[in-house]
């Protein structure tokens, strides 16, 4: 299942310890200005010893990143298939103190 056209990609800052922080969202309509901004964020993150990851990137954004020659610099995660009963884009939330299953 491909992400819907109106689904925004999510940009995560990834620290050395593997923790992730949501930096922002990229709208469904991508252009080279978006690719430029992502490249600048990736450069700033790398200078701080971190990296960025982009989840749920549209095919349009993927194409522009490849066209700009930045596929090796910007980590665009592959599209993921929804499991049975799961909606793409819905993350499971675990509260502190929840019992392990």
Residues 6 or more apart whose Cβ sits within 8 Å of residue 53: 11, 12, 14, 20, 75, 77
Beta strands 75-76 and 51-55, pairing class: parallel
Grade residue 56 by pLDDT with cuts at 50, 70 and 90. Answer: confident
Return mean pLDDT, the chain: 77
Backbone torsions φ then ψ of 9, nearest 5 degrees: -75, 150
Adjacency order of strands within the sheet including 20-26: 20-26, 9-14, 51-55, 75-76
> Among 15-29, 30-44, 68-82, which is the least confidently predicted range?
68-82
pLDDT digits (tens, 9 = 90+) for 28-43: 688 899 999 999 999 9
Residue 63 has which token pair? 């194409």
């Amino acid at each position: 299942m491909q992400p819907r056209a109106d689904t925004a990609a999510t940009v995560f800052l990834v620290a050395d310890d593997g923790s992730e922080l949501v930096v922002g969202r990229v709208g469904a309509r991508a252009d080279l200005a978006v690719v430029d901004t992502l490249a600048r964020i990736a450069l700033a993150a790398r200078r701080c010893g971190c990296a960025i990851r982009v989840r749920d990137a549209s095919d349009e954004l993927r194409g522009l990143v490849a066209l700009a020659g930045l596929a090796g610099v910007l980590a665009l995660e592959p599209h993921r298939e929804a499991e049975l009963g799961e909606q793409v884009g819905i993350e499971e939330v675990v509260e502190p103190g929840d019992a392990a299953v």
